[in-house]
Amino acid sequence: MKLKFLFVPVLFLMTSCELLKTTPQENTQTQFKQTYCIWKVKATEADCDIHYWLGYWGNIENIDWPERKAKIDTLSDSDADVLRKVILSQGKSTPYQNRLRAQMWAESVFPKLNDSMRTFLEVALYTPSQSLLELESALVTLSKINTQKVASIEERRIELEQQKKKLQEQQHQIEQLLNIEASMIKNGQEDK
């Protein structure tokens, strides 16, 4: 009889542990299998397909900037096209001003994206692009400072050359005066 009373709680504990083990794993698997639109408000089925957008983004590295710029110029101001513009502006060869414009486009389209997609794009696209902009800005600033320093050094070099020339002229004049004085002393001694 005592064995029956022990068996029920042990069985209950083992069953509970099994339930605890499978529940989070099943939730995680369900979460990754769940499909959702990248937009808060669904426009078209194609615009919602994450695979389409990842493929679109993956293909821009093979396109040079002038070609991507031409594609950007043909796109409209619809949310999907603005997102395409942002993605097309992410290549390595994108000029600073165009990358900066893409950051503003991204900020305009982020509120319309699904929270998960917005977070993904902020981490994968927006933040690295912002870092590149900051680095480029720092390089431009350092380059300007460097150019100013080089110009300042060149001015100082010219000033030093002019001072050196003046010193040589003064030294030549002093030598002439010393020669005149020496000549006068010599002539004064000869006269005595």
- pLDDT, one tens digit per residue, over 44-70 is 666 677 888 888 888 888 899 999 999
Domain that holds residue 79: 45-140
Residue 80 covered by a domain: yes
Mean per-residue pLDDT of the chain: 81
Number of domains in the chain: 1
Q: What is the pLDDT of residue 49?
A: 78
pTM for this predicted structure: 0.62
Rounded average pLDDT over 67-88: 94
Residue 36 covered by a domain: no
Residue 14 covered by a domain: no
**pLDDT at 17 exceeding the cut of 90:** no
Q: What is the pLDDT of residue 3?
A: 47
Distance, in Å, from the CA atom of 91 to the CA atom of 95, rounded to the nearest integer, reads 9
**pLDDT at 178 exceeding the cut of 50:** yes
Residue 175 covered by a domain: no
Confidence of residue 145 (pLDDT cuts 50, 70, 90): very high
CA separation (Å) from 131 to 111, 138, 153, 159? 21, 10, 32, 42
**pLDDT at 5 exceeding the cut of 60:** no
Rounded average pLDDT over 151-172: 92
Residue 73 covered by a domain: yes
pLDDT more than 70, % of the chain: 78
Residue with the two structure tokens 């369900």:
30
As to burial, measured by CB atoms within 10 angstroms (0-12 exposed, 13-18 middle, 19+ buried), residue 135 is: exposed
Distance, in Å, from the CA atom of 79 to the CA atom of 87, rounded to the nearest integer, reads 12
Residue 187 covered by a domain: no
Residue with the two structure tokens 């513009």:
85
Residue 79 covered by a domain: yes
Residue 51 covered by a domain: yes
Confidence of residue 99 (pLDDT cuts 50, 70, 90): very high
